[in-house]
A and B are shown apart, each in its own frame.
Chain A
């Protein structure tokens, strides 16, 4: 199994640009999570899906952030427009009906100049 796949691994963009982060969960997993890691706030949950349906997006910081899961094998996190304070590492994770074991991808390191 390839594990959770995220792309791109690194993204450098200028303030005001649109950024799209991509995630392919482990095949068969029914939960997908998006996290953000910063020095100030640590690892925080942004949004999670169950069977492609968003369940809780209370962690999404602003309306500039949006996430979609059009099918069971693909999800996107979009930031439009991006700001320097969005610079962070964004992780995607998936799980199979288990509250404990979430499998994380390698993350996307985003730098907004």
Chain B
């Protein structure tokens, strides 16, 4: 049972445009969601998070939106830069320190 789903394995975006990465979840029990970014041959790095009591969190070019009624989470990157090219993981945290990750979406930003 995949509690966190990233249905798009890959996404290509032109430099300067908006990148939208999506994540769906099946279990409503959670405290927060997170996005991690991963470059090849490196470990994932924390990017941004959102609490279950909020519907939006913004940090510079990165904004995460949470739609609890639709059980949907999205990450917006604007403007997109070539250095943003990486695999992005959505993760859910509930109660304990355990995180449940999606399988990731590979973002390619084309110069």
**Which residues of A are interface residues toward B (Cβ below 8 A)?**
4, 31, 33, 42-45, 48, 50, 55-56, 91, 93, 95, 99-107
Contacts and interface: CB of A to CB of B under 8 A. Distances in A.
Contacts of B31: 99
B43 A100 contact: no
A104 B44 contact: yes
A111 to B, nearest CB: 15
B99 interface: yes
B42 interface: yes
A99 B97 CA distance: 5
A103 B38 CA distance: 12
Given A42-B103, A44-B101, A100-B32, A105 B96 contact: no
B45 to A, nearest CB: 7
Interface size class of B (residues with CB under 8 A): 20 to 34
A91 B44 contact: yes
A91 B43 contact: yes
Q: Chain A at the B interface: mostly helix, strand, loop or mixed?
A: strand
Contacts of A31: 97
Nearest to A33: B97
A42 B101 contact: yes
Interface in B67-111: 89, 93, 96-104
B37 to A, nearest CB: 11
B46 A100 contact: yes
B41 interface: yes
B19 interface: no
B96 A106 contact: no
A42 B32 contact: no
B23 interface: no
A39 B44 CA distance: 16
Contacts of B89: 42-43
Nearest to A105: B43
Nearest to A109: B41
Contact of B43 (A4, A42, A99): A4
A51 B52 CA distance: 28
Contacts of B41: 106-107
B46 A101 contact: yes
